[in-house]
């Protein structure tokens, strides 16, 4: 019987290094690259585990030795944790991507509208303080409001 492969999820310390504030375009690009590498690593681990689960299921159906119930539960729990971690890394990547674009525009000397700066700061604060579903709902609402004129009472 083949034991399941259990990769270690990223440690909180490794994830903390990805959220260090950056102030230059080069630092932001480096951070974006690190986040992308971690995201790709976690995605590869998820793919490996899903393949192992499929092979185990085929072994079980074929009457060959397969994992114990505890191993299967442990593998599925790890898979769930890695999927959450991949989602978190995707959100960090999006934030880093926005930061890269912002710093790139700043280095080119593009003048920024003061209202746009305040709006960007508000969105960044909301993204930090709200859960992802609430933030997505508010962004959808804001996008819908920008498309149609707001009627005053």
The distance in angstroms from the start CA to the end CA of the chain is 70
φ, ψ at 68 (rounded to 5°): -75, 165
Question: For the chain, what is the total number of helices (H) and then of strands (E)?
Answer: 5, 0
pLDDT interval class at 22 (50, 70, 90)? confident
- Whole-number pLDDT of residue 153: 44
Task: For residue range 28-52, list pLDDT tens digits in order.
Answer: 899 999 999 999 999 999 999 999 9
């Amino acid at each position: 019987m083949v034991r399941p492969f259990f990769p270690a999820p990223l440690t909180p310390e490794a994830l903390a290094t990805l959220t260090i504030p950056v102030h230059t375009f080069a630092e932001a690009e480096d951070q974006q690259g690190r986040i992308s590498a971690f995201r790709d690593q976690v995605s590869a681990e998820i793919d490996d585990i899903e393949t192992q689960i499929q092979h185990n299921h085929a072994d079980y159906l074929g009457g060959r030795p397969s994992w114990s119930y505890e191993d299967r539960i442990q593998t599925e729990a790890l898979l769930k944790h890695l999927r959450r971690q991949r989602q978190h890394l995707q959100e960090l990547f999006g934030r880093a991507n926005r930061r890269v674009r912002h710093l790139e525009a700043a280095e080119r000397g593009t003048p920024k509208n003061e209202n746009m700066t305040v709006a960007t700061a508000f969105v960044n604060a909301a993204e930090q303080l709200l859960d992802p579903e609430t933030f997505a709902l508010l962004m959808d609402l804001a996008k819908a409001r920008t498309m149609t004129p707001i009627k005053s009472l």
